[in-house]
Structure 1
Amino acid sequence: MYDPATMTKTHWKNPDAPRPPTPWDEITPGLWMGGHVYADADGELCPAVVTDEFDLVISLYTRPGHGPGPAAEHLVGEMPDAPLTAAQLDTVRRLADTAGRALDAGRRTLVRCYYGYNRSGIVVAQCLVGRGATAEEAVGLIRSRRSPWALHNRLFTAYLDTGLDAAFLLAGPDPLP
């Protein structure tokens, strides 16, 4: 889908990726990963609307009417499910750090994107890396808890394998407007 205001691809429909069967899944205690849509028992696409289930919601994609409710803190860092700029990689790092601090404070945290596979996956994986996991361990845990399709964007797993600090430096400065 393209945002006509910025002409930036915010998500793509991968015809091979199945719709997630749940709106969100717990990856580690207090840290959840999900999307804005999921498939019901009949395979129909349903909206995943957040109300008051979480204390902090981090959205890498937004859609009107999908919450969260007024009691939750909501951080938005929209980015494409595509190559990331240095600024977007920095956003991933900052949101992952924020998620880690929220967990340390005992806050139930949801990180979400469209399906809850790639963009949410890179933030959750980076959060886990910041808590001592290797990139491989983080990706494996996410795939076992959310979906084998989680982090199927190979570029995102390459960013994690390289390390987001190094990927940020390799991405170089973003072009001037």
Structure 2
Amino acid sequence: MESGKKEEKKSFNRNIMEYAICLIVAFAIAMLFRQFVFARANVDGPSMMSTLKDKDVIFVEKLSLYTHAIKRGEIVTFYSGDAENNTYIKRVIGLAGDVIELKGGKVYRNGSELKEDYLDPNIYTQGGDFLKENVKYKVPAGYIFVLGDNRPISKDSRYIGPVSLKSLNGHVVVRVYPFNRIRTF
């Protein structure tokens, strides 16, 4: 009789161990997925209005950073690199080799004015500490030039300079909240 109880206890302990291992593996897979594939993020601030508003909930896809080149017009997230290492959300305006100029409130890339349908038509794009108006800037290799859609208040490449490709966190692929504004990018 005692040997039956020992077998039962062994079986119970084995089941507990199997469940624990399954939970640990599931947790590890979820963490790897979040770190390297897909993550949820909250928009903090109005610098991407009217495309993204403060408190919007978005999903950021990370895997394609390793599989395809960044495209102009994409919305990306990146680490600020400052002491707080904040995450910023901005639109890619220029790639390595592009010449960016701010002139008369408009953005020029390689001598042509950008058609920015996503901006409020009354937005005036002024220069900043890094890139002043009427100065041409060539984006160096390994970097991108980014701007927020709400230009008057956005802390972007006009102020912080170009963004290293190494600091990119992912591409914004969908806004999931608020529900009446669900949209893919």
User: Smaller-chain TM-score range?
Assistant: under 0.3
What TM-score comes out, normalization by structure 1 length?
Answer: 0.27
Larger radius of gyration: 2
What TM-score comes out, normalization by structure 2 length?
Answer: 0.27
